[in-house]
Amino acid sequence: MDGARMHELVERLYPLCRSITGDGVRRTLEILSEHIPLRVHEVPTGTPVLDWTVPQEWNIRDAYIADSAGNRVVDFADSSLHVVSYSVPVSATMTLQQLRSHLHTLPEHPSWIPYRTSYYAPDWGFCLAQNTLDAMPDGDYEVHIDSTLGDGHLTYGEYVVPGQVADEVIVSCHVCHPALANDNLAGIAVATALAGELAAAAPHHTYRFLFVPGTIGSITWLARNFERVDRIRHGLVLACAGDRGSLTYKQSRRGDAEIDRVLRHLLRASGRPHEIVRFSPYGYDERQFCSPGFNLGVGSLTRTPHAGYPEYHTSADNPDFVLAESMSDTLATCREAFAVLDRNRTYVNLSPYGEPQLGRRGLYDSLGGRSDAKQAQLAMLWVLNLSDGEHSLLDVADRAELPFDTVVAAADALRDAGLLKEADGT
């Protein structure tokens, strides 16, 4: 799936009203199932999940504020952001003064609609542009929210790409935001494209893709998969994957997990502007995977981080804000990172006493004519020196400040020449 097709997916998903539960999530997963064979899970309301409980399911059909002439001055049909997510049903007539405490605007951006939620405290409200509110005269207004909040299910999607080994890499993105193209639809599109690529690639690791509502979704998945957690070796949470900003990688709680080292190596080697930030227990679902009881090696890849751009959680985060080339760049970075994870091995030098003679094994001849012959030769020497059963190829690339691909090519040549063997357990 190229950048243009990922952008088409963002545009198609954008109008759906998603929340942490409900039919909008189901419809989103149905559309994704056209691209990858998702397994959809339904978890009943009231199910205990770690320290939480699966909430009631919320759905909405219509909502508006109408003036005394019946004109809808705020209409859910125009934007799903207009209603505070999880608003309880309302049907009343009230004055503007009475209504104001239920209205949310962004005075600093008067033409934008904010995104607001009330998941775990029964309430209701409308979000609207400050310009719209300023144009509303005093008087009576009809307020109507046709929603339901009752026992149902929490819905999430899962797709597993089998690997050559049972060790897993998880890729997670959140599917709970309405009408926010960068936060979260760009991440969904990149994850979907990545899953399709890996399914055609016969990867080394097993890759598990999770399309879950934020916070409660990852908590629910972890609660239902305790027996699988020990298989998780690496993980990445994708969000804000399509804006104009440079890439930002947020490290896992460990800080030195293999996924942390891979992203640091790749981003540094790329020479592109980027930022590496330390873990904090605030952000996306990496904070659940990195909670102290699990402490998994899961980082988060974004472009501009959450709340780092003015359009964040507003109607300005629309499909025009998302760039196809930015999603393609994010996808390429994920592809490169997982290629490193899948090829990272630890070797043992079978001729460790002194430097083995490479020339009589034809290894120098194999470099003839290569534009990077000196770099390739240096990579061979570094691989031989550090192949003591304790240093991986990523360790070699970092220590030698060489491209990982060059180090892998050197290791392959040395192995084929009978100078290396894989260390036990790698």
Q: What is the CATH number of the domain that holds 119?
A: 3.50.30.90
Domain with 169 in it: 3-55+153-343
Q: Are 313 and 115 in contact (CB under 8 A)?
A: yes
**Residue 409 sits in the same domain as residue 336:** no
> Distance between CA atoms of 79 and 127, rounded to whole angstroms?
10
Give the pLDDT score at 348. 97
Give the pLDDT score at 370. 57
Q: What is the CATH number of the domain that holds 368?
A: 1.10.10.10
Tokens of 167: 């060790």
**Residue 356 sits in the same domain as residue 410:** yes
Give the pLDDT score at 122. 93
Last residue within a domain, chosen from 285, 311, 343: 343
**Residue 270 sits in the same domain as residue 160:** yes
Give the pLDDT score at 368. 53
E-strand spans in 303-417? Answer: 346-349, 388-392
Q: Residue 42 forms beta bridges with which residues?
A: 155
**Residue 188 sits in the same domain as residue 250:** yes
Chain position carrying tokens 């605030």: 282
C-alpha to C-alpha distances, 275 to 246, 309, 402, nearest whole angstrom:
8, 15, 20
C-alpha closest to that of 187 among 404, 18, 394: 18
**Residue 22 sits in the same domain as residue 72:** no
Q: Are 403 and 269 in contact (CB under 8 A)?
A: yes
Go through the chain and tell me how many residues it has.
Answer: 426
183 annotated to bind ligand: yes
Q: Are 384 and 350 in contact (CB under 8 A)?
A: no
Give the pLDDT score at 371. 59
**Residue 69 sits in the same domain as residue 130:** yes
Give the pLDDT score at 424. 82
Q: Which residues are within 8 A (CB) of 156 and not within 5 positions of it... i.e. 6 or more apart?
A: 25, 29, 40, 41, 43, 175, 210, 211, 212, 213, 217, 220, 221
Tokens of 27: 């419809």
C-alpha closest to that of 192 among 334, 361, 315, 294: 334
**Residue 121 sits in the same domain as residue 194:** no
User: Which portions of the chain are predicted below pLDDT 50?
Assistant: none
**Residue 314 sits in the same domain as residue 235:** yes
Give the pLDDT score at 365. 63
Render 173-241 in DSSP notation, one character per residue. EE---SS-IIIIIIHHHHHHHHHHHHHTT--SSEEEEEEE-TTHHHHHHHHHTHHHHTTEEEEEEE-S-
**Residue 67 sits in the same domain as residue 160:** no
**Residue 286 sits in the same domain as residue 356:** no
Last residue within a domain, chosen from 317, 343, 369: 343
**Residue 199 sits in the same domain as residue 333:** yes
78 annotated to bind ligand: no
Q: What is the CATH number of the domain that holds 189?
A: 3.40.630.10
What is the value of pTM for the model shown? 0.95
62 annotated to bind ligand: no
**Residue 20 sits in the same domain as residue 118:** no
Q: What is the pLDDT of residues 141-172, one digit of tens each?
A: 999 999 999 999 999 999 999 999 999 999 99
Chain position carrying tokens 């109507």: 144
Q: What is the pLDDT of residues 205-216, one digit of tens each?
A: 999 999 999 999
Q: How many domains is the chain partitioned into structurally?
A: 3
Last residue within a domain, chosen from 343, 366, 390: 343
